[in-house]
Amino acid sequence: MNASGELKDKVILVTGATRGIGEAIVHVLAREGAHVVASSIEAQRATELAATLPGGEKRHLGLELDVTDEAQRARAFDLIQGRFGRLDGLVNNAGANFSKPFTETTLGQWRRLFDINLDSVFDLSRRAIDLFLAQAPQGGSIVNVSSVHTLATLPGAAPYAATKGAMNMLTKGLATEFSSRNIRVNAVAPGLVKTEVWKSIVDDFGGDEEACLCYWRKNIPAGDIIAPEAIAEVVSFALSDRARAMSGSILYVDGGMTSQLIATR
């Protein structure tokens, strides 16, 4: 296969790659010519996903990665170096949603959420940056998948919002420290996306998806729930050379949700 596209032959690691936004990102990056490392806690599904991409297992790699497991994080980078010899991009997409009354939230749940949503991003980014600095030509790009909860949030979501708010500031801090060394760090902040989380939102409407859609379409200026592929296209752009002047940016991809002053009931 002759790779073509905005990300031709770039090696990009995607976490949480087998579901929702992560799976969409994998498909778009492969379409744009990247060698995709599709990592997930679902090892078999990750391997199967890599095999279905253009060029199959000759161009791509599926691997098991529980982002909270330090040994698995180290192994993932060893495998990438052994297979491809370099890394050009990292998409920190793996994460956990959380909604629970604050006074019922335990310290253990708080720490577990930070372990998944933030501590893993710190360590994976550190490892990626070490590679970016050591390789020739030097450089690379990181995209963190953040959330609209960094601008406004909902009752019961304070811990989740805290993890994503910290992710945004980590993004900006790394951008200021490493942009001069050809390493760009940006974040994409999705709004309401039709993933597995959407199912739990529908459950809040008694399982009536039409009623749920009707409500949210009134509360999103663009008038609809976002498809995972729309988020993936923005991630692909942020990784590409077209975004070469962009670092430390937080891209809100939310159909105008966070721009609306008052929700429509």
Q: Catalytic annotation on 215?
A: no
Out of 77, 98, 132, 160, which one is annotated catalytic?
A: 160
Q: Is the dihedral of CA 100, 104, 110, 112 positive or negative?
A: negative
Angstrom distance (rounded) from CA 98 to CA 106 = 12
Instruction: Tell me which residues are annotated as active site.
Output: 160
